[in-house]
Amino acid sequence: MKPINVGLLGLGTVGAGTIEVLRRNKEEIARRAGREIRITHASARDLTKPRNFSLDGIALLASADALVAHPDVDIVCELIGGDTFTKALVLKAIANGKHVVTANKALLAKHGTEIFAAALENRVTVAFEGAVAGGVPIIKALREGLTANRIEWIAGIINGTSNFILSEMRSRGTSFASVLKEAQAKGYAETDPTFDIEGIDAAHKLTILSAIAFGVPPQFDKAYTEGISQLTDKDIKYAEQLGYRIKLLGITRRAKDGIELRVHPTLIPEKRLIANVEGVMNAILVKGDAVGATLYYGRGAGGEATASAVVADLVDVARMMTADPEHRVPHLSFQPDQLHDTPILRMDQVETGCYLRLRAYDRPGVMADVTRILADGSISIDAILQKEAEEGEDLVDVIILTHRSVEANVNTAIARMEALPTIAAKVVRIRLEELN
Ligand code: NDP
Ligand code: HSE
């Protein structure tokens, strides 16, 4: 059978990994795909840049536009990133009748609806396993393996960089800034690492997972996003003393009035498997009504790990190229005319448990005031812990764990606590999920 020709856009971390994996496992991949898959053309920003991998047999094109229009290219593999220039490129590739494989979660979370519609119209496929959780085949699991289930919720560690930072801070006490540099050197971080540490990258991925799980259009603009940049060693330590780990979790859940779509640091009981996922590893818990909870685990970032997903997509596309478009697996699992407009809930409508840390003057009556405020907001207390004052200090840390409560009520309670003369600083709030 005629080989499949791939045009590669981007020769960075994932581009290089893809070239290497395709080259190393060429025979095995051809046996699986039924034909050879080879990269015939590539483009990058600076073609004069020295690369520490071989580009033998690959025609380098200065123009990405020329690549997506090239008559010899069957599949365009977009590994550049970003959502402006690449959106135009991907749409051009689709208009030219090319199938597209991409690891670009920002692009799909923001413009997925338009891109999938264009693909449908042009009878091509857009495959994106590498866009979520690096090498973990979560898209395939959710879209195909769990297709019998009504999905109830998904909770995942879906940003390798932030998990790497949190793990190193907790286990080695390394500073935030130096671990971030290490993550960048290892090729885990996005071009703009604020996407990783502020939860934006995780929210892009969660938006895609949510769309596939619940049959709704990707709506990144409605995701609640909070990162790890404000987390302190102190809270990581206190959480540990209470039997919890703090992880940056992406959570999407089918609730009574809509869908939760949120990324934030979260306390998880340390006995849960997912609480013990360390370093660049990702893990995604998916709860289906029939199967129960399932867990998917693996490397969430890095060149070859992500290439594993990218190449799997290339094989999938190669296998289904001859199938008529109506019989392909739909991009978002649900048939395109079966997507629902179930609302995405605002964060203040969501219910979670909470860890609250108050910096309080060590005076009689403080606890009474605080617990009254919580009771007024129908917020039930699970545990309270008062730390000893540091030598010579009049202030103590008070940690309160609450049961699940509506976020709006917690917001009001926090504002009232911060207004008390006995509370000396902003209240730290970290959400808590039992995940049971
Ligand atoms: P890199 O920054 O390592 O590579 C980006 C590549 O795109 C470079 O080769 C660069 O060229 C090229 N490029 C940039 N701008 C242009 C342009 N205007 N025209 C043509 N080429 C351009 O990124 P990654 O490989 O890390 O990421 C690629 C994609 O994969 C992103 O969408 C990212 O979010 C996603 N991803 C990354 C993962 C990872 O672990 N790194 C994991 C999962 C997904 P040059 O080399 O000449 O500068
Ligand atoms: N920057 C991303 C991460 C790459 O750290 O998870 C994988 O998508």
Distance (Å, whole) CA 142 – CA 123: 23
What SS3 string covers the chain? CCCEEEEEECCCHHHHHHHHHHHHCHHHHHHHHCCCEEEEEEECCCCCCCCCCCCCCCEECCCHHHHHHCCCCCEEEECCCCCCHHHHHHHHHHHCCCEEEECCHHHHHHHHHHHHHHHHHCCCCEECHHHCCCCCCHHHHHHHHCCCCCEEEEEEECCHHHHHHHHHHHHHCCCHHHHHHHHHHCCCCCCCCHHHHCCHHHHHHHHHHHHHHHCCCCCHHHCEECCCCCCCHHHHHHHHHCCEEEEEEEEEEEECCEEEEEEEEEEEECCCHHHHCCCCEEEEEEEECCCEEEEEEEECCCHHHHHHHHHHHHHHHHHHCCCCHHHCCCCCCCCHHHCCCCCECCHHHCEEEEEEEEEEECCCCHHHHHHHHHHHCCCCEEEEEECCCCCCCCEEEEEEEEEEEEHHHHHHHHHHHHCCCCECCCCEEEEECCCC
C-beta 160 within 6 A of ligand 2: yes
Tokens describing residue 69 = 């229009």
pLDDT the model gives residue 391: 82
Q: How far is the CA of 205 from the centre of ligand 2 (A)?
A: 10
Our mutation pick for probing the ligand 2 site, out of 168, 188, 247, counting the most ligand atoms within 8 A of Cβ, is 188
What are the pLDDT digits (tens) for 31-90?
999 999 999 999 999 999 999 999 999 999 999 999 999 999 999 999 999 999 999 999
Q: Which CATH architecture has domain 4-137+303-338?
A: 3-Layer(aba) Sandwich (3.40)
* CA nearest ligand 1 atom 4, residue: 12
pTM for the predicted model, two decimal places: 0.97
Tokens describing residue 220 = 């990144």
Q: Which atom of ligand 2 is nearest to the CA of 158?
A: 6
**CB 160 within 8 Å of CB 286:** no
Q: How far is the CA of 150 from the centre of ligand 1 (A)?
A: 35
Tokens describing residue 249 = 């979790």
Fold of 351-432: Alpha-Beta Plaits (3.30.70)
Strand-pairing partners, residue 402, are 354, 381
Per the document, the length of the chain is: 436
Terminal Cα-to-Cα distance of the chain (whole angstroms): 50
Q: Which atom of ligand 1 is nearest to the CA of 301?
A: 40
Ligand nearest to the CA of 13: 1
Q: Which atom of ligand 2 is nearest to the CA of 193?
A: 1
Our mutation pick for probing the ligand 2 site, out of 180, 196, 284, counting the most ligand atoms within 8 A of Cβ, is 196
Alpha carbon separation from 110 to 82, 206, 223, 382 (Å, rounded): 10, 12, 11, 39
Is 287 a known active-site residue? Answer: no
Q: How far is the CA of 114 from the centre of ligand 1 (A)?
A: 22
Tokens describing residue 364 = 């009689």
Task: Choose, from 105, 205, 247, 287, the residue flagged as catalytic.
Answer: 205
C-beta 2 within 6 A of ligand 1: no
pLDDT the model gives residue 134: 96
Domain boundaries, the chain: 4-137+303-338, 138-299, 351-432
* pLDDT tens-place values along the chain, 436 residues long: 899 999 999 999 999 999 999 999 999 999 999 999 999 999 999 999 999 999 999 999 999 999 999 999 999 999 999 999 999 999 999 999 999 999 999 999 999 999 999 999 999 999 999 999 999 999 999 999 999 999 999 999 999 999 999 999 889 888 899 999 999 999 999 999 999 999 999 999 999 999 999 999 999 999 999 999 999 999 999 999 999 999 999 999 999 999 999 999 999 999 999 999 999 999 999 999 999 999 999 999 999 999 999 999 999 999 998 778 888 999 999 999 999 999 999 999 999 999 999 999 999 999 999 999 999 999 999 999 999 888 888 899 999 999 999 999 999 999 999 999 999 999 999 999 999 8
pLDDT the model gives residue 82: 97
Q: How far is the CA of 247 from the centre of ligand 1 (A)?
A: 26
C-beta 131 within 6 A of ligand 2: no
Distance (Å, whole) CA 238 – CA 355: 10
C-beta 214 within 6 A of ligand 1: no
What are the pLDDT digits (tens) for 388-408?
888 888 899 999 999 999 999
Q: How far is the CA of 44 from the centre of ligand 2 (A)?
A: 20
C-beta 244 within 6 A of ligand 1: no
Alpha carbon separation from 278 to 160, 245, 295, 364 (Å, rounded): 9, 11, 15, 42
Q: How far is the CA of 229 from the centre of ligand 2 (A)?
A: 16
pLDDT the model gives residue 174: 86
Residue 422: other Cβ atoms inside 10 A: 18
Check if CATH label 3.20.20.70 holds for domain 138-299. no
Closest CA to 164 of 186, 191, 138: 186
Distance (Å, whole) CA 186 – CA 79: 17
Tokens describing residue 138 = 């979560």
C-beta 80 within 6 A of ligand 1: yes
Q: Which amino acid appears at position 113 of this protein?
A: T
pLDDT the model gives residue 120: 96
**CB 287 within 8 Å of CB 128:** no
C-beta 187 within 6 A of ligand 1: yes
Distance (Å, whole) CA 395 – CA 292: 46
Distance (Å, whole) CA 82 – CA 424: 42
